[in-house]
Amino acid sequence: MNRLLLRGGRVLDPQAEGDAIADLLVENGVIAAVAPKLDAAGAEILSAEGCWVAPGLVDLHAHLREPGQEYKEDFTTGGRAAVAGGFTAVACMANTHPPNDDPSVTEFILAHAREDSLARVYPIAAATKELGGKVMTEMVALVRAGAVAISDDGHTIMDSGVMRRVLEYSRLVEIPVIVHAEERTLVGDGVVNEGVVSTKLGLPGNPAVAEEVMVARDLRLAELTGAHLHVAHVSTAGAVRLIREARARGVHVTAEVTPHHLTLTEEAALGYNTNTKMAPPLRSAADVRACREGLADGTLDAIATDHAPHAVHEKEVEFTLAPPGVIGLETTVPVTLDLVRAGELSPLEWVRRCSAHPARILKRPGGELAIGAPADLCVIDPERRWLYDPTKGYSKSRNSPWAGQELVGRNVATIVSGELVYHVDRGVLRP
Amino acid sequence: MIGRDLLAIEDLERGDIERILETAAHMQEVGLREVKKVPTLRGRTIVNLFFESSTRTRTSFEIAGKRLSADVINFTPSSSSLTKAESILDTAKTLDAMAPDAVVVRHQVAGVPKRIADELTSPVINAGDGAHEHPTQALLDLFTVLQEKGRIDGLTVAIVGDIAHSRVARSNIYGFLKMGAEVRLAAPPTMIPAAVETLGVKAFTSLREALDGADVVMMLRIQTERLSGAFFPSVREYSALFGLDREKLQYAKDDAIVMHPGPVNRGVELAHELADHRPSVILDQVRNGVALRMAVLYLLAGRPPETKRGTPEARRGTPETGSAKVSETRGGKS
């Protein structure tokens, strides 16, 4: 019998509004007991004193690059990076090679992920064939194969008629349609936020309105069709406002925000570091403030990494040519705990946005510590200081804007299905 | 203090600019001699690394280097990482291994000279990067205005044209502001960059308002092929509104000078009759460009090797400029 006791942690259960020091016992892969003092005869004991014990984090948005771009990441390394960062489940985007636009690819992903990944992997299928924005994918077959959502992500569906039908058809499967909302003709060649920084750098600007125009379109189409729209990586004050208003009207919309859009401004790009190039770009301080307020007041439901690994040689090029995106699985905890330290989120609210809400959006288990629930857990030391060196991380890629920085807060242990798969002192543990 | 590299006017202090302009004044004398050559940089190697073709700027740097007796190598890799197997950083590292004393970089993408400077041990001089900066152009413009007007402080400078896509505009905005001038911009709204007034300039969409009382009118080259139809409706309309001719020049001060970084689209941004004669100083700009670039090369490539990596040691060498004495009032760098 497999028993593991997490002793003396601050147990945070967003579902039950629980926030108290307690022991938590894991038995046979499920949560067996939570109580102030548990008898743990024969159990492996892990001290959680000074730490938070929480449901494992769930990432709505990661690029695990398999199949096709295994030189950037694969299920083994992506899964390790996930559990090292406190994530027990990761939804992976469809822009692989080939893209996940066919049930056979979904099955491939699940088969390989089950074999190789320490974290659970939830495939997101493409909304249109070859992410081409024209021909709808077989959503019913994709969901049967295991897809949890559909999205063309960065290949934004520009044809509004196609987008309308994708949303309408998605009612058959009742899964979220995730959108990377950017009106490409307004983005133009833009690579940094349009504003004083693009002017200073002499780089083409990507205006906030490019995102807002597309968010407005998709919200109206969601309202028309009654589909579940999920807006990925919201980055502008205007987009937050549009989502807030639509939700008040009863539109079925959820939204996520990334760690970088919550904590970094466009000024990070001064100096032309391509690890500050994202899509959408880092925005103004006012936009960051609006995203943080939106996350706190519930307009934005979840924190999602948009973990986007790229090889060093791909990033070490001219700023305009570098692929956008940064890795984030291993740094989300310290980076976003900034909102807890700033008093904008309680620890319980933070857990809700990193775990319970993403799980609910994807209609997957997680985000709770109920007795009998699968024991997917993370143990977080909110005070731990550490120097982040991506070359020593688990991701294959190193494209992080936080490279070389001292971070505060760290995931120290991760449990998936009752198995300890990561411990900060012992590294990744294959059970 | 002027640093190891010259990447952007934004990075310079007013004192740095003054020092470069003073040095250029001494260098100018060399250009007036029968034999226009001094041994100052003898034995030094300067590489012109031009990813983007540019006959004018490259030639100006080449002549400047040769007048200082440096060995000047022109290296023109075929554009970017996209079309080329070798990345810009590999190109830079390869060059660095050959230990040049200065590398002059021109690239069509903003930020590349900075990325190259981060990799190189030798000083890097930005000869224009995308729409970012073109610092030696702004310095030669400042030098020209100083020679014409005797001062820069308190002057009113109007920069007219495609500000959004212009590295010349950005460098001149920083340069003239740092030297105490008032800077105005005039362009159609589509070519005024976002939030540009936060830099301390005033932006106008009326040429007349921008020129009112101006001492210096700087016209920018308009890329008619790329922009016509997209950023302005037609060359005809652009020229009617923002092209400079004798009539529109009346808005400026009586003794206003007209500048242009070249090459001029005659009849588009500048009327033919203004291009060749005073008050236009376009050829003086070109002439001064050589002296100014000599000054920059002297200040950056002329240092003893041990100071090139940015060690705090101040340079106190004896400049071998013959009768062209170079003042070392602020000696060295920080």
For chain B (334 residues), the mean pLDDT of every run of 10, in chain order, is 88 97 95 92 95 92 97 80 69 89 96 94 96 98 98 98 97 98 98 97 98 98 84 94 96 98 94 92 97 97 60 36 38 35
Which of residues B315 and A362 earns the better pLDDT score?
A362
Chain B residues whose beta carbon lies within 8 Å of the beta carbon of residue A196: 194-195, 198-199
Write out the residues of chain B at the interface with chain A, using a CB-CB cutoff of 8 A.
Answer: 10, 80-82, 87-89, 107, 109-112, 114-115, 129-133, 167, 170, 193-196, 198-199
Around Cβ B262, how many Cβ atoms within 10 Å? 16
Span A327-337, average pLDDT? 98
Q: What percent of chain A has pLDDT over 70?
A: 100
CATH of the domain at B47: 3.40.50.1370
User: Which member of B109, B196, B198 has the closest CB to residue A318?
Assistant: B109
Q: Nearest-CA residue of chain A relative to B170?
A: A200
pLDDT computed for residue A2 by the predictor: 80
Helix (H, G, I), strand (E, B) or coil at B87: coil
Q: Is B278 in the same domain as B172? A: yes
Whether B110 sits inside 8 A of A313 (CB atoms) is: no
In a mutagenesis test of the A interface, which of B132, B201, B231 is the best target, namely the one with the most A β-carbons within 10 Å? B132
Q: What is the pTM of this model?
A: 0.92
Q: Nearest-CA residue of chain B relative to A198?
A: B194
- Overall domain count for chain B: 2
pLDDT computed for residue B303 by the predictor: 75
User: Which member of B111, B112, B194 has the closest CB to residue A199?
Assistant: B194
Residue spans per domain, chain A: 3-53+373-384+406-428, 56-361
Superfamily of domain A3-53+373-384+406-428: Urease, subunit C, domain 1 (2.30.40.10)
- Rounded Cα distance between A352 and A14, Å, is 6
Q: Evaluate whether residue B328 is within a structural domain.
A: no
CB-based contact, A174 to chain B, within 8 Å? no
Q: Is B16 in the same domain as B92? A: yes
pLDDT computed for residue B314 by the predictor: 36
Say if residue A1's pLDDT is above 80.
Answer: no
pLDDT computed for residue B313 by the predictor: 36
pLDDT computed for residue B319 by the predictor: 38
Whether B111 sits inside 8 A of A203 (CB atoms) is: yes
Residue B298 is given by DSSP the state H
Class of domain A56-361: alpha beta
Whether B199 sits inside 8 A of A202 (CB atoms) is: no
A179-212 per-position pLDDT tens digit:
999 999 999 999 999 999 999 999 999 999 999 9
Chain B residues whose beta carbon lies within 8 Å of the beta carbon of residue A202: 110, 129-133, 167, 170
Buried b (16+ CB within 10 A) or exposed e, A41-73: eebeebebeebbbbbbbbbbbbbbbbbebbebb
pLDDT computed for residue A64 by the predictor: 98
* Six-digit token string for B302: 């002329």
CB-based contact, A385 to chain B, within 8 Å? no
Q: Evaluate whether residue B125 is within a structural domain.
A: yes
Around Cβ A237, how many Cβ atoms within 10 Å? 20
Q: Give the A:B interface size as CB pairs under 8 Å.
A: 68
Q: Is B176 in the same domain as B57? A: no
A256-284 per-position pLDDT tens digit:
999 999 999 999 999 999 999 999 999 99
- The answer to whether A344 and A296 have CB atoms below 8 angstroms apart is yes
In a mutagenesis test of the B interface, which of A318, A319, A320, A321 is the best target, namely the one with the most B β-carbons within 10 Å? A318
Q: Please report the DSSP string for B189-226 in residue order.
A: GGGSPTTGGGGT-EEES-HHHHHTT-SEEEE----HHH
Residues spanned by the domain of B197: 135-282
Chain A residues whose beta carbon lies within 8 Å of the beta carbon of residue B194: 194-196, 198-199, 205, 207
| Beta partners for residue A7, in sequence order | A47
Kind and range of the H or E run holding A315? helix A312-315
Q: Is B57 in the same domain as B75? A: yes
Whole-complex ipTM: 0.90
Number of separate helices (H) and strands (E) present in chain B: 12, 9
A142-167 per-position pLDDT tens digit:
999 999 999 999 999 999 999 999 99
Cis peptide before B305 (omega within 30 of 0): no
Catalytic site positions of A: 306
Shortest distance, CA A395 to any CA of chain B (angstroms): 24
Chain B residues whose beta carbon lies within 8 Å of the beta carbon of residue A320: 109-110, 130
Cis peptide before A280 (omega within 30 of 0): yes
CB-based contact, A312 to chain B, within 8 Å? no
Please choose, from the candidates B126, B179, B161, B123, the residue with its C-alpha nearest in 3D space to the C-alpha of residue B262.
Answer: B161
Q: Is B266 in the same domain as B146? A: yes
Any residues with CB less than 8 A from the CB of B309 and at least 6 apart, and which?
B4, B121
Say if residue A48's pLDDT is above 70.
Answer: yes
Q: Rounded mean pLDDT of chain A?
A: 97
CB-based contact, A318 to chain B, within 8 Å? yes
